[in-house]
């Protein structure tokens, strides 16, 4: 259902003001024009046949080190703002026809079209909505012991960690972060003063590894849930060897400043 434009613009501005983990240049667009909405429905393939949205949020970014991870980190902040305001959203990766949408938004070839989300006031859930959620596995999640480890990949969290209620709340919030087809490609190793984020899957389409985007979403959930519970830290992207999983791809370290 359509929504007040001032409220939608506030959501878009949340993207502009989002915390970042790189200095990558990004632009958040709010598309409310009916004709552009029809064009977007055509660009996103099968999703366009099932999603009937009056408005769209679109993220464009310039390529750079860590930009996809940062795109996920920032865009999810905007999605969470939309959710807080009662809007319905749905992540849709832009894997095809970038040039068409880029031209519609007046952007040059230096910009990559990363992701979009329909946004509006949700109507009653239809059979189609429920089917999409089922196909995407959006209600299923791996258990904590398959996603979070102690000191090295595969090592079970000790009792001292599992009895820390605040920390376990952070891990639970992170566990529920959305990902493409609910693949949950990210893993985390907890250490005394840091948390290592890395990924164990590859999903490269049109020169973009969308699992890096997924990692950014999970990192967003970890950071803001930790902050809400009084745990202070910061993400630092970079390369490192993952203990116990040398073939895994490192994403970043969450440096703990206060617990």
The predicted-structure confidence for 36-72, as pLDDT tens digits, reads as follows: 666 666 665 555 444 567 788 999 999 999 999 999 9
Domain spans of the chain? 5-131, 139-258
Looking at per-residue pLDDT, the higher value among 41 and 165 belongs to: 165
Question: Chain-wide mean pLDDT for the chain?
Answer: 87
Whole-model pTM: value is 0.89
What is the per-residue pLDDT across 193-225, written as a single tens digit (0 to 9) for each?
999 999 997 665 556 788 999 999 999 999 999
- Helix (H) / strand (E) containing 103: helix 98-104
Q: Among 3.40.109.30, 3.50.50.60, 3.40.50.150, 3.90.550.10, what is the CATH number of 139-258?
A: 3.40.109.30
Mean pLDDT across 140-169: 96
Block residue for tokens 């970079």: 238
223, 18 in Cβ contact below 8 A?
A: no
pLDDT of residue 48: 46
114, 208 in Cβ contact below 8 A?
A: yes
What is the per-residue pLDDT across 71-128, written as a single tens digit (0 to 9) for each?
999 999 999 999 999 999 988 876 557 888 898 889 999 999 999 998 988 876 554 4
Is there a common fold for 5-131 and 139-258? Answer: yes
Q: Among 3.30.390.10, 3.60.110.10, 3.40.50.300, 3.40.109.10, what is the CATH number of 5-131?
A: 3.40.109.10
At how many degrees (to 10) do helices 165-175 and 210-228 cross? Answer: 150
pLDDT of residue 135: 40
In angstroms, what CA-CA distances link 221 with 61, 175, 178? 21, 9, 10
Q: How confident is the model at residue 248 (pLDDT cuts 50, 70, 90)?
A: very high
pLDDT of residue 210: 87
What is the per-residue pLDDT across 126-146, written as a single tens digit (0 to 9) for each?
544 544 444 444 568 999 999
Q: How confident is the model at residue 181 (pLDDT cuts 50, 70, 90)?
A: confident
Rounded Cα gap, residues 237 and 252, in angstroms: 4
Q: Percentage of the chain surpassing pLDDT 90?
A: 65
């Amino acid at each position: 259902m359509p929504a007040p434009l001032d409220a939608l613009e506030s959501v878009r501005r949340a993207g502009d003001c989002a915390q970042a983990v790189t200095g990558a240049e990004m632009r958040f667009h709010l598309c409310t024009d009916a004709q552009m909405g029809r064009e977007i429905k055509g660009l996103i393939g099968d999703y366009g046949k099932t999603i009937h949205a009056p408005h769209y949020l679109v993220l464009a970014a310039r390529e750079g080190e860590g930009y996809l991870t940062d795109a996920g980190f920032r865009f999810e902040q905007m999605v969470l703002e939309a959710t807080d305001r009662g809007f319905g959203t749905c992540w849709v990766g832009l894997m095809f026809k970038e040039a068409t949408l880029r031209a519609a938004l007046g952007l040059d070839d230096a910009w990559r079209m990363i992701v979009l989300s329909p946004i509006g006031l949700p109507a009653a859930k239809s059979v189609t909505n429920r089917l999409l959620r089922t196909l995407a596995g959006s209600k299923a999640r791996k258990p904590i012991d398959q996603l979070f480890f102690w000191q090295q990949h595969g090592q079970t969290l000790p009792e001292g960690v599992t009895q820390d209620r605040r920390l376990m709340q952070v891990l639970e919030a992170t566990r529920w972060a959305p990902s493409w087809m609910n693949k949950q490609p990210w893993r985390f190793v907890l250490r005394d003063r840091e948390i290592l984020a890395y990924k164990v899957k590859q999903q490269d389409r049109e020169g973009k590894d969308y699992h890096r985007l997924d990692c950014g979403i999970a990192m967003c959930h970890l950071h803001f849930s930790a902050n809400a519970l009084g745990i202070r830290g910061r993400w630092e992207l970079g390369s490192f060897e993952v203990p116990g999983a040398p073939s895994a791809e490192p994403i970043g370290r969450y440096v703990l400043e206060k617990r």
